[in-house]
Amino acid sequence: MRTVTGTGVTPLSGLGRVVWYTDELELGDPPEGIDPNLERERFEDARETAEADLESERERARERVGKEEAEVFGAHIQFLNDPQFAEGVENAISEGLPAEHAVREGFSSPIAQFEGMEGRMAERADDLRDVRDRLLRLLTGATGTELADLPEGTILLAERLTPSDTAKLDPDRVAGFATVLGGRTSHAAIFARSLGLPAVVGVGEVLHDISDGTELAVDGEAGEVIADPDEEIRKRAAATRDVEIRAEPVTTADGRGVEVAANLGTLGELAGARERGADGIGLFRTEFLFLDREAPPDEAEQYETYREALSAFPDGQVVVRTLDIGGDKPIPYLSLPESENPFLGERGIRRSLGDDSELFETQLRALLCAAADEGTLSVMFPLVSTVEELEAALEVVEEVASDLEAEGLSYELPELGVMIETPGAVFMATELASRVDFLSIGTNDLAQYVMAAARDDERVSGLHDPLHPPVLRAISRTVAAAHANDAWVGMCGEMAGDPDLTELLVGLGLDELSMSAVTIPEVKGRIVDIETSEAERTASQALDAATKDDINEIIDQ
């Protein structure tokens, strides 16, 4: 049994046989004496065909992984038609290269430039490779591996997977995948979560030591790839594919209700959340409405989006987070300032009350109008650190409501809440909770800010853990402040979706847990077996612990 590690991107495990995927095209040396005009015609024909294919793939992806995720193919169309790329290819043709070699040459420099950047911009290199390889296949007539028809029980291994590759994978055939390269925010990772595929990315060159046909377990939660797994691991990996779905809300063994909701970014994820037994939506990330497009969505489009989310859970609650951009979520058509540390700069409510105030008001208009329809809508503000920020946001809500009333439009004031993501919000939780209906703890950012450890810096990844005592105590303090002010408190960070921590979170007093839909069945299964008094004892012991290791030992016991 051999184990290699990378970045887990889905809290699922899969078991199967390895199929290595390589789709690199060897062009060989370019011929001499080409006709430049003919090669330009070949390039233009390939570009037109590629655009039509991308439009078709975008439509298919909308059905399979969601509207917003599918817009990556819209970005590919923009790359395809970017005059800068076309000029680079045509210049290479003028210098004597045939169309396919010119495409490779024309895309090489932009790909290298993106690879030299950081964060999500670096992952744009994969988008360019996807566009380049699509053109090369059309120009050479080469056919790649048919990913849609892989043998059942395949664990796919690859150097990297492009968005086009990942969108073709069939969850009924593919038990999981692992890649040498890639990060948690890559399109391959996002698609894997939407499709419910166990996946580990960024394993490194050691992945090449695993050969075709090897029995392999992929643990997308622990970030482990295990070759020739023993019987215990095989059973555990197989068991995650067969979890009981509880469609109704659940209670602990002694009758305490805990809502289990889904974190969503697109309408395409609604069906999956309902199928996995979500009681509602605990975090609807509206920034995905604003990404991969040339202009922001108008009020009507947003209204229809929120209405559709509400109609999917008519008996549940839908919690919508207002626009949270900046940090790791830039939007090209907005003037986001350059910052050495964007996570500590303008993002979340800071922009909504500043440069993006018009977008904020438009979004609130759509939300208040949607709240008048079926379902229960709640709205929360991201990255609030001060009472002044919250009071300013509440004033905007009142102004928007007044405008809607003056216009004779139907609206309703939803429940209002605050995201608890900063130490400042934790220290002011009592004052914040006294002004709103609920608090929602975003443990990903909270751990980042409490521990001064960037989420995307692998060198400090050990510090980015919500089980460090100061983070756990911040959570406890927030829960106490909420309940003391008759506000409910939820959690929408990744911590909420870890079944091993469910008893701890119940013991800390969380009223709602919101997570990736794939983990909902297991978390619900854990809740029904919990005795609240025992969970509270576990939480009390964990809060008294001095180290993360001590807390882990308490949880293991």
The domain that holds 221 is classified in CATH as 3.50.30.10
Q: Pick the residue with more confidence: 380 or 235?
A: 380
Tell me how far the alpha carbon of residue 301 is from its chain's centroid: 22
Does residue 101 carry a catalytic annotation? no
Question: How far apart, in whole angstroms, are the C-alpha atoms of residue 202 and residue 6?
Answer: 5
Q: Are residues 58 and 192 in the same domain?
A: no
- Distances 548 to 492, 506, 552 between C-alpha atoms, Å: 21, 19, 6
Answer whether residue 449 is part of any domain: yes
Q: Pick the residue with more confidence: 290 or 406?
A: 406
Q: Which of 173, 208, 239 is the last residue of a domain?
A: 239
Helix (H, G, I), strand (E, B) or coil at 260: strand
Token pair recorded at residue 478: 């927030």
Whether residue 271 has pLDDT greater than 60: yes
Answer whether residue 249 is part of any domain: no
Averaged pLDDT, 168-186: 85
What residue spans of 313-452 are helical by DSSP H? 349-352, 357-371, 387-406, 423-427, 429-433, 443-451
Whether residue 328 has pLDDT greater than 60: no
Q: Pick the residue with more confidence: 133 or 385?
A: 385
Q: Are residues 136 and 149 in the same domain?
A: no
Q: Which of 161, 152, 100 is nearest to 130 (CA)?
A: 161
The domain that holds 522 is classified in CATH as 3.20.20.60
The domain that holds 129 is classified in CATH as 1.10.274.10
Q: Are residues 351 and 268 in the same domain?
A: yes
Range of the domain at 522: 260-556
Residue 485, pLDDT score: 98
Using an 8 Å Cβ cutoff, are 556 and 542 in contact? Answer: no
Averaged pLDDT, 252-269: 91
Q: Are residues 224 and 368 in the same domain?
A: no
Answer whether residue 396 is part of any domain: yes
Ranking 37-51, 88-102, 117-131, 286-300 by mean pLDDT, the lowest is 117-131
Answer whether residue 246 is part of any domain: no
Residue 336, pLDDT score: 65
Q: Are residues 329 and 305 in the same domain?
A: yes
Question: How far apart, in whole angstroms, are the C-alpha atoms of residue 464 and residue 444?
Answer: 8
Q: Are residues 431 and 501 in the same domain?
A: yes
Question: How far apart, in whole angstroms, are the C-alpha atoms of residue 375 and residue 362?
Answer: 21
Mean pLDDT of the chain: 88
Q: Are residues 428 and 533 in the same domain?
A: yes
- Per-residue model confidence as pLDDT tens digits over 539-555: 999 999 999 999 999 99
Q: Which of 207, 239, 271 is the last residue of a domain?
A: 239
Token pair recorded at residue 513: 């847990």
Residue 237, pLDDT score: 79
Ranking 31-40, 316-325, 509-518 by mean pLDDT, the lowest is 31-40
Answer whether residue 330 is part of any domain: yes
Q: Are residues 112 and 161 in the same domain?
A: no
Residue 290, pLDDT score: 83
Which of 76, 464, 468, 492 is the catalytic position? 492
Question: How far apart, in whole angstroms, are the C-alpha atoms of residue 548 and residue 100?
Answer: 55
Using an 8 Å Cβ cutoff, are 476 and 539 in contact? Answer: yes
Which of 76, 187, 464, 468 is the catalytic position? 187
Does residue 187 carry a catalytic annotation? yes
Share of the chain above pLDDT 70, in %: 92
Structural domains in the chain (count) = 3
Whether residue 433 has pLDDT greater than 90: yes
Question: How far apart, in whole angstroms, are the C-alpha atoms of residue 285 and residue 38?
Answer: 48
Number of Cβ within a 10 Å radius of residue 305? 22
Q: Pick the residue with more confidence: 486 or 196?
A: 486
Question: How far apart, in whole angstroms, are the C-alpha atoms of residue 413 and residue 364?
Answer: 10
Question: How far apart, in whole angstroms, are the C-alpha atoms of residue 311 and residue 530?
Answer: 32
Question: How far apart, in whole angstroms, are the C-alpha atoms of residue 364 and residue 213?
Answer: 54
DSSP one-letter string for 414-457: PEEEEEE-SHHHHHTHHHHHTTSSEEEE-HHHHHHHHHT--TT-
